[in-house]
């Protein structure tokens, strides 16, 4: 009996020693790999931020790829340490990935759209954009969604696929913008005089660029007014403050110069009843049919 116990112990001890050491080595590999992955992620963030003109939206995305890439290598190394054939596991993961991809087409389309947004960069964090009715200041671009802050301070999250499949208008990308403002004056007013007043208003504002030169053009002949269009270029940061100020000051200078901004109006002609009846009786059946 004692011999059997000794024989069993002699057999078990090498196995425990061998697999125990492998287990301890695997745990240590996982711990070290986890620490190294986090360290490389932080190092990638710091390194990328030192690069001039590096888009801030790409920094967390690339750092995350580095982290998970290291973790994948660590897991494969641990499995290989236990004698597992990693080629078969990779093939199995590929088949599972295909099945999951078919089941999560919508989610993968968001990931693909997120990668395209990050690579082609039609917008970046801090810019104001409008993509198919989704508008606001970009807060962060993720793999699945993009975060916005609307003009009235509302937090908005949109799937990347819904943004990438739309036409994107970036209001902040160019350093300058053209401001268009339509002002209506009466048909009795002098067009040249009103145009000079509006031109002086724009040229005296320091936010209006001298090149290209501001313009005042006759836009349309409306039902109740002659519509003049004010055109000027300004810095993108000054666009909205300048538009609000010009809208207010235009009314003030137009009225102080003796011109008027007419209300929409219609001209109505009244025909006396007797005259109208006589004309109706005098009309021939052919004319009545035409009328």
* Cis amide bond preceding 212, omega within 30: yes
Its pTM stands at: 0.59
CATH 2.30.30.60, the chain: domain bounds: 122-170
Domain covering 122-170 in this structure, CATH number: 2.30.30.60
Each residue's pLDDT tens digit, 164-216: 888 999 999 999 999 999 999 999 999 999 999 999 999 999 999 999 999 99
Residue 47 CB coordination number (10 Å)? 14
Kindly report the CATH class assigned to 174-291.
alpha beta
Instruction: Compute the average pLDDT of residues 257-261.
Output: 89
The position carrying tokens 């001039």 is 52
Each residue's pLDDT tens digit, 8-23: 555 655 655 656 666 7
* Cβ contacts of 142 within 8 Å, gap of 6 or more: 114, 160
CATH 3.30.70.100, the chain: domain bounds: 174-291
Q: CA dist 131 to 53, 117, 146, 163, Å?
A: 25, 12, 11, 6
CATH topology of domain 2-103: Helix Hairpins (1.10.287)
CATH 1.10.287.1260, the chain: domain bounds: 2-103
Each residue's pLDDT tens digit, 216-238: 999 999 888 999 999 999 999 99
The answer to whether the CB of 109 falls within 8 A of the CB of 119 is: no
């Amino acid at each position: 009996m004692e011999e059997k116990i000794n024989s069993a112990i002699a057999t078990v001890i090498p196995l425990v020693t061998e697999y125990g050491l492998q287990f301890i080595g695997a745990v240590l590999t996982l711990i070290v790999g986890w620490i190294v992955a986090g360290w490389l992620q932080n190092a990638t963030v710091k390194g990328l931020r030192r690069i001039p003109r590096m888009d801030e939206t790409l920094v967390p995305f690339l750092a995350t790829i580095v982290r998970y890439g290291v973790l994948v290598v660590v897991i494969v190394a641990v499995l290989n340490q236990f004698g597992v054939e990693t080629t078969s596991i990779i093939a199995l993961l590929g088949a599972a990935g295909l099945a999951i991809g078919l089941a999560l087409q919508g989610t993968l389309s968001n990931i693909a759209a997120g990668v395209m947004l990050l690579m082609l960069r039609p917008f970046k964090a801090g810019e104001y954009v409008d993509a198919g009715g989704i508008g606001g200041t970009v807060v962060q671009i993720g793999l699945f969604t993009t975060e916005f802050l609307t003009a009235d301070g509302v937090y908005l999250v949109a799937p990347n696929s819904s943004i990438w499949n739309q036409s994107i208008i970036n209001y902040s990308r160019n350093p300058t913008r053209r401001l268009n403002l339509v002002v209506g004056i009466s048909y009795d007013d002098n067009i040249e005089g009103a145009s000079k007043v509006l031109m002086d208003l724009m040229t005296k504002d320091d936010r209006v660029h001298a090149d290209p030169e501001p313009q005042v053009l006759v836009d349309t002949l409306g039902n109740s007014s002659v519509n003049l269009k004010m055109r000027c270029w300004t810095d993108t940061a000054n666009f909205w403050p300048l538009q609000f100020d010009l809208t207010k000051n235009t009314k003030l200078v137009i009225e102080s110069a003796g011109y008027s901004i007419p209300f929409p109006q219609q001209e109505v002609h009244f025909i006396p009843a007797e005259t109208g009846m006589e004309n109706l009786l005098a009309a021939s059946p052919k004319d009545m049919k035409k009328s």
